[in-house]
Structure 1
Amino acid sequence: MPDLSTKALRTRSRLLDAAREELLLHGGALEVGRVAERAGVSVGLIYRYFNSRAGLLAAVVEDFHDRYQAEVMVADPLPGAAHWCQREERRVHRAVQFLYAEPLAPLLLVSLAREPEVASLEAQRIAENIRQGADNIRRGQAAGQLPAGLDPQLVAAMVLGGMHQALLEALGRRPRPPQEQLAHQLWHFIRGALAPV
């Protein structure tokens, strides 16, 4: 996307907020006309910023994943942690906390996951997360805190895949499992898969 002025960034943000509200209000349905009405703009402005309904939905999904990346995957959840496990256990808690607090999580990860634009972005983000996870495992191996014989890429894929499925299950339940209980069980699973030294 080309550089936008401050006013254009505010307008784009208002459109994304309106789209999120519409998705939540209508259980994942997104009509451009309703988004424009909610944002107080013309329908044409949505097409100017996002090209299509699919582009608008993709922008909402990208924003969700960007925030997840910043708050969970990239951030050091426990600066100064002496052991890899301490830091990564905290990261698991942050992941659960983020997804439980994010109203769009069940829609984007469960209901809308079959939408082509969502599925495509999700596949890209999963590949990125696996790469990040593999790099993280290598750091644990280099520090002598994870077994050297683990294949970082495969183990990252297994751990993130299992974690993803468990989170989908938890987000779809009514009532949801308690947040701390879920985070604890996820960490127990991950710790068992990695067998830290």
Structure 2
Amino acid sequence: MDIDLSVTSVRDANAALRALPAGASARLASPAGRHNLAVGLTEAITVEIDGTAGYYAGGLGRDATVLVRGTAGWGAGENLMSGLVRVDGDASQSLGSCAHGGTVVVHGSASLRAGISLKGGTVLVAGDVGDHCGFMAQAGTILIGGDAGRGLGDSLYEAVIYVAGKIRDLGADARIEELAEADVELVARLAKQHGFDHIDPENVTRVASARQLYHWGTP
């Protein structure tokens, strides 16, 4: 099914997508940076956004696959429950924020606060990420194929961040830990699955919580 967004409203397009049965596929033509495309999907369908998406593409989804054939604005894959949101180009701020499950993949770079408040999902960025990636990430995995900006992993809880490039600096209560065999195997699987051929799984940096902020105490 093809939906031309130059003549169909986003509300009507999303309603048509949510009416599709599992296994169906659809293409959104002429997205022109419109916001809230392919949000709230609950079936195992595939949606191709043929161009640039605005804010919150693929957000609040479960089981669906959303492919953005361009760049994406703020909050791509926000609050994802399961399924896949993939961006072929770059992504703006708050990529995959609050994702409880599923996978959010960017084959370019991502701006500030990627993976903020992550709650169990997986966020993969082939290129660089901006400042405060993984801020207050509670659970899940973040894999960065390039460099990370300032405040990486600030106030981390149980999420783990892997960085193939350089780290500008760590946020509060984040620390670098030694790689275990399980880490190498996980990074290798994710890199192979999503075409991140430039990543050497044995030479990434593992960043996790120092667990000093779990409980407030008196000096």
TM-score, scaled to structure 2:
0.28
Instruction: Give the strand-richer structure, 1 or 2.
Output: 2
Instruction: Give the helix-richer structure, 1 or 2.
Output: 1
TM-score, scaled to structure 1:
0.30
